[in-house]
Structure 1
């Protein structure tokens, strides 16, 4: 009698061609709780299916465009069925990997960081934050901490060619001057510190050194990090502790993107002014759902850009402003 369920299952699978779909999740960096949350979102979707599995990979330590391409190509050699990727360099990624993905009929969805507009035909959709609006939010957060005119700011970003971070920088400038393409020159009441923008390449040690150097100035500019960068460095609290009184008195202002668990702990300690966070878990869950529907039904999403909300965290609401997975 016990053979009947097995035989029935085999007949069902032969009749309907039971398939198993592998979705790869590739962040800009692998050792990053933000992208790990996106992977967990993919796994959450996979729990609702018996025929989906998720893989996770990325450049090990920093935003290396070449490693990202190597990782994607390696995954394609392992016969993945679909790819979810956060773009470090659109041109490099398309030429080095996504053209091949298109030839192999491997659907690609971008999350967190989209391809450039001219490369958008190499992905079926983008799921994540509207990065320009996110930059505007970071810029607006600086307004209540303005002490003089023109007020200096320092923007810290990652790789020079990363699409989402460049959009955020544009958003910051737009919020503070009404234009997005040029450095702030003081005419709007805001001016960019002479050493900035700072480029970290996603290297946490460099990011923390940059932050400490800037805020240790006699009259430090308002510091705006368009991604977590320094706050993902495990030495952040130790290094910034000596500035705690100045942070409390608003003599130093640190505004940062993202609200990972380690960053919420930093906020609770009074070592960051405000953090504006995203929804990496939902990026992964929704992205996997879209890719699955495309694989099984050939169904494309209604829009090729699905924007998710962002949220605001400070010391007063750090326990309740978001959920990390």
Structure 2
């Protein structure tokens, strides 16, 4: 075991065992995210804890330090299971791996388990009681709907974090469905001329949850892959917004005229995100309400703890955000403030 991994495990151990002792009475639920540093999951944890505190209960935020990785998430779950917890909400990285590892212990201990943001694969749904969050295929369809608004055909580069993430793969599929009008494009689904769309070169590109790599991939897709449209199914390039602006400036005129497109899915929008859109460097967002996801996750876990029946799917808000107030096929739009 290398030094960095030992430090990560030590930090995780301290995090898990120092916080609950301070909580005292009440139920304790855990929100297991893909990364403790991800702003979207911080928002989800904030919503979960706010809802729990209203009832005198608590919601821990548990997950890997740094970049998301399924082995680190599995370790976080194993550490969590060393204490008493009344329910777990999990944003799934690699569902098949987790099912073979730590989720076996969750099932054995009969701890209520739900998923949020990213669900388990369909053949593993029996391991959880409910899924909280948006329909990720619809997120992809809304991203593709923004592309369709500005461009009828062209070359496309899709960007994601990992080929293992169920929710991100569903978003990729949704984009392809929107662009081709095909509700069930063949796996692996790479577009090769369908309805005028072709995925370029090495795309889809995976950034391993690395914001710097994501920005480099954006520049490379425009420069060397000659992509007309880039669709990122997550917010990774936005996390280094100054460097992203520099990477997009050589293509500013083409982006402003919408000869090229750059469209992303993200959580709540920040002022710097609106600035990039106002400058014409981004043509639209699909914004996901992670705080609502956290609040709803707490509500579902509390119901399960009380022995109440719950619905299998609990949808949370998603909206399209565009640079001008016009309707977009496949979803609601909103004008930036």
When normalised by structure 1's length, the TM-score is 0.86
- Separation (CA, whole Å) in 2 of partners of 1:218 and 1:29: 30
| Matching residue within 280, 291, 295 for 1:285 | 295
Q: Say whether the 8 Å CA contact 1:312–1:321 is kept in structure 2.
A: no
Equivalent residues in 2 for 1:102-113 (5 A)? 102-113=107-118
- Separation (CA, whole Å) in 2 of partners of 1:126 and 1:47: 22
- Specify the structure having the higher radius of gyration (Cα): 1
- Separation (CA, whole Å) in 2 of partners of 1:248 and 1:93: 44
Q: Could you say which residue in structure 1 is the equivalent of 2:52?
A: 46
| Matching residue within 152, 164, 169 for 2:167 | 164
Question: Which digits, 9 at most, give the CA deviation of each residue in 1:249-275, with x for residues without a partner?
Answer: 213210101143253343234331100
| Matching residue within 14, 31, 34 for 2:40 | 34
Q: Say whether the 8 Å CA contact 2:142–2:320 is kept in structure 1.
A: no
Q: Say whether the 8 Å CA contact 2:267–2:289 is kept in structure 1.
A: no
The DSSP-based 3-state class of the residue aligned with 1:154 is: strand
- Separation (CA, whole Å) in 1 of partners of 2:276 and 2:49: 28
Q: Could you say which residue in structure 1 is the equivalent of 2:258?
A: 250
Going from structure 1 to structure 2, the CA distance change for 1:183 and 1:92 (only over 3 Å counts) comes to: same
- Separation (CA, whole Å) in 1 of partners of 2:249 and 2:63: 32
- Separation (CA, whole Å) in 2 of partners of 1:263 and 1:55: 29
1:194 aligns with 2:201: yes
- Separation (CA, whole Å) in 2 of partners of 1:54 and 1:156: 32
Q: Say whether the 8 Å CA contact 1:86–1:112 is kept in structure 2.
A: yes
Going from structure 1 to structure 2, the CA distance change for 1:56 and 1:227 (only over 3 Å counts) comes to: same
The alpha-carbon deviation at position 232 of structure 1 amounts to 1.7
Equivalent residues in 2 for 1:125-164 (5 A)? 125-146=130-151, 149=153, 151-164=154-167
Going from structure 1 to structure 2, the CA distance change for 1:277 and 1:250 (only over 3 Å counts) comes to: same
Q: Could you say which residue in structure 2 is the equivalent of 1:14?
A: none
Going from structure 1 to structure 2, the CA distance change for 1:281 and 1:208 (only over 3 Å counts) comes to: same
Going from structure 1 to structure 2, the CA distance change for 1:310 and 1:322 (only over 3 Å counts) comes to: farther
Question: Which digits, 9 at most, give the CA deviation of each residue in 1:30-53, with x for residues without a partner?
Answer: 211111110011022123211x11
Query: How many residues of Structure 1 are paired with residues of Structure 2 in the alignment?
Result: 299
Q: Say whether the 8 Å CA contact 1:88–1:113 is kept in structure 2.
A: yes
When normalised by structure 2's length, the TM-score is 0.83
Q: Say whether the 8 Å CA contact 1:193–1:221 is kept in structure 2.
A: no
The alpha-carbon deviation at position 309 of structure 1 amounts to 3.0
Q: Say whether the 8 Å CA contact 1:224–1:256 is kept in structure 2.
A: yes
Q: Say whether the 8 Å CA contact 2:323–2:335 is kept in structure 1.
A: no
- Separation (CA, whole Å) in 2 of partners of 1:199 and 1:272: 20
1:96 aligns with 2:96: no
The alpha-carbon deviation at position 321 of structure 1 amounts to 5.4
Going from structure 1 to structure 2, the CA distance change for 1:218 and 1:161 (only over 3 Å counts) comes to: closer
Q: Which runs of 5+ in 2 are unaligned?
A: 1-23, 326-333
Q: Say whether the 8 Å CA contact 1:63–1:203 is kept in structure 2.
A: no
The DSSP-based 3-state class of the residue aligned with 1:188 is: helix
The DSSP-based 3-state class of the residue aligned with 1:214 is: helix
